[in-house]
Structure 1
Amino acid sequence: MPEDDFGLWERELEPGPPDEGASGGFGMVLVAGLTASGCTAMIALGEVPLGTAGLVLSSIILLLWRIGM
């Protein structure tokens, strides 16, 4: 017998056990740090528009990554 919709919906909202392979956001922090360092180096080397564009673009990507899109 199929389960009712409310049971499926309730199970989706219940937090399950945490994934053992979850990094806890360490990867995102590492990528953000490396990207910011690279863009800062570009600005220091005189490529201000390219470094600024990189910082803006990476900020948008990391924001979307953080919210799960």
Structure 2
Amino acid sequence: MRLLALELLLSLLDVRGHIPRFDDFRPAPLAAAPAGTVHALAAAIAIFVVLSLAIWATVWLATSLF
């Protein structure tokens, strides 16, 4: 009886319609888009280079001051 009341309350509030069923999910593509992968790789390399240069500059500055 409790589950029926809960189901009735959720259907009246229209909350039940927002819960997806398993059939609503479509299978994801197996391979990512090549352009997206290249952009992500380029961004990761750029971030790595900037962080490496920042660390190198900090160490160089610290050693040149002392």
Normalised-by-shorter TM-score class: 0.3 to 0.5
Say which structure, 1 or 2, has more relative contact order (CA 8 Å, 6+ apart).
1
Q: Please identify which structure carries the higher helix content.
A: 2
TM-score (norm 2): 0.42
Structure index of larger Rg: 2
TM-score (norm 1): 0.41
